[in-house]
Structure 1
Amino acid sequence: MQVVASDALLQHLLTLHPKVIDLTLDRMVRLLHALGDPQERIAPVIHVAGTNGKGSTQAMIRAGLEAAGERVHAYTSPHLARFHERIRLAGETIPEAMLVQVLEECETANAGLPMTFFEITTAAAFVAMSRVPADHVLLEVGLGGRLDATNVLARPELTIITPVSIDHQQYLGETLPEIAGEKAGILKRGVPCVVGPQEEAALEVIEARAARLGAPLLVHGQHWHVTEERGRLVFQDENGLLDLPLPNLPGPHQIMNAGAALMALRHLGYAEAACEGAVTRAFWPARMQRLKTGPLVDAAQGAELWLDGGHNPAGGKAVAATLARMPARPTHLVCGMLNTKDVAGYLRPLAAQVADLHAVSIPGETATLPAEATRDAALSVGMKATTAESVRAAIEEIVAADPSARLLICGSLYLAGQVLRDNA
Structure 2
Amino acid sequence: MAEKFDVVDIIRTKRDGGELSPEEIAWVVDAYTRGAIGDEQMAALNMSIFIRGMNRREIVDWTRAMIDSGDTMDFSALGKVTTDKHSTGGVGDKLSLPLGPLVASYGVAVPMLSGRGLGHTGGTLDKLEAIPGFNVDVPNDRMMDILKDVGVVIAAAGAGLAPADKKIYALRDITSTVDCVPLIASSIMSKKIAAGADSLVLDVKVGSGAFMKDVDAARELARTMVDLGNDAGVRTCALLTDMSTPLGRTIGNSLEIRETVDVLSGNGPADVVELTCELARKMLEMSGIHDADVEERLKDGRALDVWKRMVRAQGGDPDAPLPVAPHTHEVVAERDGYLTKLDALALGVGSWRLGAGRARKEDPVQLTAGIEIHAGIGEKVTRGQKLLTLHTETPEKFERALESINPGIEISDAAPTTEHKPILDRID
TM value normalised by structure 2 = 0.39
Higher relative contact order (CA 8 A, sep 6+): 2
TM-score, structure 1 length as denominator? 0.40
